[in-house]
Chain A
């Protein structure tokens, strides 16, 4: 399988049942999906579980996918729906969503002190993210963790450009307020 094939070409082959194409697609995107879900859910175990579910659904719906160059938005929309569903279920059973030991900050190529500090900052932010309303968190994570432009976030989340601006603005203000309350900003 030519690794230079774009996502649409791989999806067309996946719909024909070509395992190599599907595998390439999973390998290409598993990191993005995991990073997104991990920031959404605050749990590496849940992120991996739902990443797997995301790719299963991509496979099962490959025949319905329209090859119009929007694979990533389509994929993250599936992942976002699954994440919100999982978060709703957690709230029903009273789960506390953030586990600071769950993500790996030990291998960043920096000195131990910098790694420790980065780890603490990362934990602080992820803990504060976990307490945001779901849609605010999703918009902010797509923007800052996935590097998506507002226009693409609007498409992925099924909302408008001003809607995205408002979600991200409110998310940022809430994070700032929460982090400064404990005087934990640098």
Chain B
């Protein structure tokens, strides 16, 4: 009889697909050891609920702190091609041209120097985009990425 202890967290969290859940149910009905394991996990689960319910409140300084480091001092950080007015259309055209040049220059090798580089710019699936390394604090972004992401320093420290 194969125990189901490895599935019990997902079982409690409602994350098992129907066939797996049915297998776990069947096993639990006949295995006292796994039932005891489930009961002990369930207690921790309940304690986590209590801890999660403890209120966490933002101090009044959060927004003012954020504001003083962003909109209040740093409007130049906003990419100019997102601006309004007659420049916008020309701006996007310039970006398109620049992107074409960039793709032609950088992408033939497929990736940046560290294998994780500018391919992110060509990635079209959102999960790939999100899980790509450009936001990972352990990544070593290429020069082009650093240019794109000026302000997102790689070690997680404040610039």
Contacts and interface: CB of A to CB of B under 8 A. Distances in A.
Interface of A: 15-17, 19, 22-23, 26-27, 30-31, 34-35, 38-39, 44, 47-48, 51-53, 55-57, 59-64, 66, 68, 70, 73-74, 77-78, 81-82, 84-86, 103-105, 107-108, 118-119, 121-122, 124-126, 129, 140, 143-145, 149-150, 155-156, 158, 165-166, 168-169, 171-173, 175-176, 179-180, 185-186
Given A52-B66, A56-B69, A149-B15, A63 B79 contact: yes
B139 to A, nearest CB: 9
B25 interface: no
Interface of B: 6-10, 13, 15, 40-41, 43-59, 61-63, 65-67, 69-71, 74-75, 77-79, 82-84, 126-127, 129-131, 133, 135-137, 148-152, 155-158
Contacts of B51: 39, 121-122, 125-126, 129, 145
Chain A contact residues, majority secondary structure: helix
Contacts of B148: 64
A103 B56 contact: yes
15 contacts: A31-B58, A39-B52, A48-B61, A59-B70, A59-B77, A64-B149, A85-B156, A104-B57, A119-B54, A144-B49, A150-B15, A155-B130, A165-B6, A169-B7, A171-B9
